[in-house]
Amino acid sequence: MKRKKLLSLISSICLISIVGVLPFVGGCAPPEKEPIKIGAILCLTGVVAELGPKFQAGIELALEEANYEVAGRPIELIVEDSATDVTTAVEKFKKLVDGDKVHIVIGPLMGDSHLAMAPYAAEKKVLVTSLINGMYEAVKYRTYLIYPTTCMAQTYPFGQYCHDVLGYNTMITIGANYAGKIAYANGAAKGFEDAGGTVVDQLWPDVGTPDYSPFIAAFGEADVVLYALEGPGPVSRFIYQYREAGKTMPLVTITQDGDYTPEALAELGDIALGIPGESSYPWQLDTAINKKFVAAIKAKTGVVPSCSEQNAYTMAKVVLAGLEATGGDDSFDKLWPAILALKIDTPQGPLSFTPEGVAITNMYVTQAEKVDGEYRLSAPIYTVHAVRDWRLPE
Amino acid sequence: MEAVLLTFLNGISYGMLLFLVASGMSIVMGLMGIINLAHGALYMVGGYIGWTIAVQYDLNFGLAVFLGGCAGGLTGLIIERGFLRRLYKQPNEQVLVTFGFVYILSNLCVWIWGPRRRLQFTGEALSGLIYLGNIPFPVTRVFTIITGIVVAVVLWWLQDKTRFGAMVRAGMDDKEMTTGLGINLERVSMLVFFLAAFIAGIAGVVGAQLLGVYSWLSTDILVLALVVVIVGGMGSVQGALSGGIVIGLIDTVFKTLFPQFSMFTIYVAMIIILMVRPSGLWGRRI
- Structural domains of chain A in order of their starting residue, each with its CATH number: 36-148+286-357 (3.40.50.2300), 152-279+366-387 (3.40.50.2300)
Rounded to an integer, the average pLDDT of B16-28 is 91
> Cα–Cα distance between B141 and B122 in angstroms, integer?
11
Nearest beta carbon to residue A217 from set B118, B119, B256: B256
- pLDDT digit string (tens) for A50-99? 889 999 999 999 999 999 999 999 999 999 999 989 999 999 999 999 99
Q: Do B255 and A204 count as a contact with CB atoms less than 8 A apart?
A: no
Q: Do A203 and B136 count as a contact with CB atoms less than 8 A apart?
A: no
- Chain A: residue nearest B219 by CA? A46
pLDDT confidence of residue A66: 97
Q: Do A215 and B255 count as a contact with CB atoms less than 8 A apart?
A: yes
Establish if B241 belongs to a structural domain.
yes
Q: Do B262 and A233 count as a contact with CB atoms less than 8 A apart?
A: no
pLDDT confidence of residue A168: 98
pLDDT confidence of residue B245: 94
pLDDT over 80 at B112, yes or no: yes
Distance from CA of B58 to the nearest CA of A (A): 13
Residues on chain A touching B21 (C-beta within 8 angstroms): none
Beta-bridged to residue A228, according to DSSP, are A175
pLDDT confidence of residue A12: 63
Instruction: State the CATH number of the domain containing residue B129.
Output: 1.10.3470
Q: Do B119 and A203 count as a contact with CB atoms less than 8 A apart?
A: no
Establish if B146 belongs to a structural domain.
yes
Question: For chain A, where are the alpha helices, taking DSSP H only?
Answer: 2-21, 52-65, 86-94, 111-124, 151-164, 179-194, 213-217, 232-244, 256-259, 262-268, 288-301, 307-325, 332-340
Distance from CA of A171 to the nearest CA of B (A): 18
pLDDT confidence of residue B184: 81
Give which of B15, B8, B69, B67 is closest to B203, Cα–Cα.
B69
Establish if B210 belongs to a structural domain.
yes
pLDDT confidence of residue B221: 86
Establish if B126 belongs to a structural domain.
yes
- Chain A: residue nearest B2 by CA? A217
Give which of B125, B134, B105, B132 is closest to B42, Cα–Cα.
B105
To test the contact with chain A by mutation, choose from B55, B137, B255, B262 the residue with the greatest count of A C-beta atoms within 10 A, namely B255
- pLDDT digit string (tens) for A197-246? 999 999 999 887 888 988 998 898 999 999 999 888 888 889 988 988 88
- pLDDT digit string (tens) for B197-231? 999 999 999 999 988 898 888 888 888 889 999 89
Q: Do A50 and B252 count as a contact with CB atoms less than 8 A apart?
A: no
Residues on chain B touching A44 (C-beta within 8 angstroms): 115
Q: Do B115 and A210 count as a contact with CB atoms less than 8 A apart?
A: no
Q: Do B210 and A263 count as a contact with CB atoms less than 8 A apart?
A: no
Nearest beta carbon to residue A268 from set B115, B119, B260: B119
pLDDT confidence of residue A231: 82
Among B19-28, B53-62, B260-269, name the most confident range: B53-62
Chains A, B: CB contacts under 8 A, how many? 95
Establish if B139 belongs to a structural domain.
yes
pLDDT bucket at B165, cuts 50 / 70 / 90 = confident
Nearest beta carbon to residue A240 from set B119, B214, B251: B119
Percent of chain A whose pLDDT exceeds 90: 68
Mapped onto helix, strand or coil, the DSSP state of residue A350 is: strand
Identify which has the larger pLDDT, B276 or A76: A76
Beta-bridged to residue B137, according to DSSP, are B130
Q: Which of residues 105-124 of B touch A (CB under 8 A)?
A: 110, 114-120
Domain boundaries, position B177: 2-276
> Cα–Cα distance between A143 and A114 in angstroms, integer?
11
Q: Which of residues 197-236 of A touch B (CB under 8 A)?
A: 203-206, 208-211, 213-215, 217-218, 232-233, 236
- Chain A: residue nearest B249 by CA? A214
In contact, A203 and A173? CB cutoff 8 Å: yes
Cβ-count burial A72-97 (b if 16+ within 10 Å, e if not): ebebebbbbbbbbbbebbbebbeebb
Establish if B286 belongs to a structural domain.
no
Rounded to an integer, the average pLDDT of B38-48 is 95
- pLDDT digit string (tens) for A179-202? 889 999 999 999 999 999 999 999
pLDDT confidence of residue A23: 47
- Chain B: residue nearest A267 by CA? B119
> Cα–Cα distance between B102 and B41 in angstroms, integer?
6
pLDDT over 90 at B50, yes or no: yes
> Cα–Cα distance between B71 and B66 in angstroms, integer?
9
The complex scores an ipTM of 0.77
Sign of CA pseudo-dihedral A215, B232, B222, A177: positive
Burial class (CB in 10 A: 0-12, 13-18, 19+), A117: buried
pLDDT confidence of residue B59: 94
Establish if B281 belongs to a structural domain.
no
> Cα–Cα distance between A157 and A188 in angstroms, integer?
7
Distance of CA B263 to the CA centre of its chain: 21
Mapped onto helix, strand or coil, the DSSP state of residue A5 is: helix
Establish if B43 belongs to a structural domain.
yes
Q: Do B116 and A263 count as a contact with CB atoms less than 8 A apart?
A: yes
Amino acid at A26: G
Mapped onto helix, strand or coil, the DSSP state of residue A304 is: coil
Distance from CA of B11 to the nearest CA of A (A): 8
> Cα–Cα distance between A72 and A319 in angstroms, integer?
15
C-beta neighbour count of A253 within 10 angstroms: 25
pLDDT confidence of residue B283: 73
In the 8-state DSSP scheme, what is residue A139? G
Q: Do B119 and A236 count as a contact with CB atoms less than 8 A apart?
A: yes
Mapped onto helix, strand or coil, the DSSP state of residue A272 is: helix
pLDDT confidence of residue B285: 53
Task: Return the half-sphere exposure (C-beta side, CA atoms, 13 A cut-off) of residue A225.
Answer: 21
The three-state DSSP-derived secondary structure of chain B is CHHHHHHHHHHHHHHHHHHHHHHHHHHHHHHHCCCCCCHHHHHHHHHHHHHHHHHHCCCCHHHHHHHHHHHHHHHHHHHHHHCHHHHCCCHHHHHHHHHHHHHHHHHHHHHHHCCCCECCCCCHHHCCEEEECCEEEEHHHHHHHHHHHHHHHHHHHHHHHCHHHHHHHHHHHCHHHHHHCCCCHHHHHHHHHHHHHHHHHHHHHHHHHHHCECCCHHHHHHHHHHHHHHHHCCCCHHHHHHHHHHHHHHHHHHHHHCHHHCCCHHHHHHHHHHHHCCCCCCCCCC
The answer, for B130 touching chain A at a CB cutoff of 8 Å, is: no
| pLDDT tens per residue across all 394 residues of chain A | 566 667 666 666 656 555 444 444 444 444 467 899 999 999 998 878 888 999 999 999 999 999 999 999 999 999 999 998 999 999 999 999 999 999 999 999 888 888 899 999 999 999 999 998 788 888 899 999 999 999 999 999 999 999 999 999 999 999 998 888 999 999 999 999 999 999 999 999 988 788 898 899 889 899 999 999 988 888 888 998 898 888 899 999 998 888 888 778 888 888 889 899 999 999 999 999 999 999 999 999 999 999 999 999 999 999 999 999 999 999 999 999 999 999 999 999 999 999 999 999 999 999 999 999 889 999 999 999 999 998 998 7
Distance from CA of A233 to the nearest CA of B (A): 6
In contact, B263 and B214? CB cutoff 8 Å: no
- pLDDT digit string (tens) for B123-158? 988 888 888 888 888 999 999 999 999 999 999 898
Residues on chain A touching B212 (C-beta within 8 angstroms): 233, 236-237
Distance from CA of B114 to the nearest CA of A (A): 8
Q: Do B140 and A203 count as a contact with CB atoms less than 8 A apart?
A: no
Q: Please state which of the ranges A83-97, B27-41, B64-78 shows the lowest mean pLDDT.
A: B27-41
The answer, for B252 touching chain A at a CB cutoff of 8 Å, is: yes
Give which of A56, A44, A55 is closest to A84, Cα–Cα.
A44
pLDDT bucket at B286, cuts 50 / 70 / 90 = very low
Nearest beta carbon to residue A211 from set B3, B14, B215: B14
Q: Name the domain count of chain B.
A: 1
Residues on chain B touching A52 (C-beta within 8 angstroms): 115
> Cα–Cα distance between A70 and A327 in angstroms, integer?
8
